[in-house]
Amino acid sequence: MLTRDILEHMSKVTIMPPEGIFKSYDIRGIYPHELNEEFAVPITKAIYKLLSEQLSKTEPLSIAVGRDMRLSSPVIFESVTKTLMELGAKVIDLGIASTPTFYYAVFSKKYDGGIQITASHNPKEYNGIKIVRSSPTGLVKIGKNTGMEDIKRMVREGVALVARGEGRIEKLEGILEAEIQNALKIVGYPEVKKYKIVADAANALGALYINALFKAIPGELVKMNFELDGTFPAHQADPLQKETLVDLQKRVKEEKADLGLAPDGDGDRLFFIDEKGEIIPPSLITALVAKELLTDKKGETILFDIRYILTPKKIVEEYGGKYEVTRVGHAFITEKMHQTGAIFAGESSSHYFFRETGNAESQIPMILFVLKVMTREGKPISEIINNLRKSHESGETNYKVKNALEIIEALKEKYKYGDISTLDGIAVTFEDWRFSVRTSNTEPLLRLNVEHIGKKDLEGRVNELVSEIEKHAVFENLPK
């Protein structure tokens, strides 16, 4: 039988969100049992305390809050903003906004910080929270190395904050239009021909900035799945899953379009499709933009992640720039941009970052750069990209294994005569090929990527690595 003391104690216990929702880059979980409007209260208090401490501020903070179109986002938004106002914050309501627009608002308006309610490319049952704060060198994303562990600890232990009840909320208007003007400035107010562009927005936030951009520049925009719908009726908003690109690839060819665009759920990733319906590797888009920037600004630093480096490295060297290779993950890349003062960074998962957007992702200038080069060179994008290509890439092979670190050690011994990097897992470079094997930051996976100067030799190297991994692997299930 439960005593009165036990019952009173149970009535005071607050059910805490599971610790597993605090990820390397953001907070993310399934609604409502992993993340909901109740859990958002202690999380918001922890975020507010962290930002106050990191900014060394005792006065109320200015916090911008945006959200995506998921069905659970309005109630989480209401909980977050109500909690912030109770703490005395000035809350800036961005409404439904892409993550790049959210970043640009915090950076350009110099707010103390920001909270974006989104689960990015995850399926409809998920939701999440992304967090940034301002700094003298741009935005700092709150991740594993910049405060996420502190937020998790504070949520677990409880946060002692005095509710001031003096906060207020106001709407911010016109920020998307300002973001487009900033992108045009970054690209040098380019001359752009009227190309035919097919875009599949996956019923998600990329529709907002693509639609707005093509009101500001010439172009015939063919829209696919542009109606915002948090149930994602067409397909999951994750262009890394190649099956989600099939309809877009087909439509580009049917329309005889010049280019295809595929943003992810919150719009901070963007894949490009050439006029033949082929997916353009993000490392080649990175190389294209690096070339454009370095043509005018020699000596600047370009960043790219460890997975595929041969093409961007060669282009940066040819055009008088400096480069650094980073760990995989947008929080790590942003951190490295602060450290190096890099002008631009490109990630193999199609995140692209600019110093002039606060070291945050921005996809509008990426579209403009591609259209600018197409206009100037008068060639199809496939030919432009092929002229930049210095290597061929395998695409990623993923394994669910129980002994990832053991496999990495075995590969280190097997390939000890190469140039070995342990920046992120293991990457080994030889004269004409290289590979990267690393554990995922977001999933229980071991990831293999291979690149080779010669296309015909790539498959052999992939098969070699696959055999070596499988020889040592203890599988949780079969590779996918």
- Annotated catalytic sites, by residue? 120
Q: What is the dihedral of CA 272, 442, 337, 241, to 10 degrees?
A: 0
Cα separation, 132 vs 139, whole angstroms:
6
Bridge partners (DSSP) of residue 45 are none
User: Rg for the chain (alpha carbons), in Å?
Assistant: 23
H/E stretch holding 250 reads helix 246-254
Cα separation, 237 vs 344, whole angstroms:
25
10 Å Cβ neighbour count for 247?
16
Helices within 345-454 (DSSP H only): 364-377, 381-388, 404-414
The whole-angstrom distance between residue 327's C-alpha and the CA centroid of its chain comes to 13
Question: DSSP state, 192?
Answer: -
Q: At what angle do helices 404-414 and 455-472 cross, to 10 degrees?
A: 130
| C-alpha count within 13 angstroms, C-beta hemisphere, residue 134 | 18
Closest to 111 (Cα-Cα) out of 58, 68, 172, 162: 172
Cα separation, 116 vs 201, whole angstroms:
19
Cα separation, 100 vs 265, whole angstroms:
12
Sign of dihedral through CA atoms 327, 267, 353, 139? Answer: negative
Bridge partners (DSSP) of residue 346 are 304, 352
Pair 246, 271: CB distance under 8 Å: no
What would the DSSP string read from start to end of 84-96? Answer: HHHTT-EEEEEEE
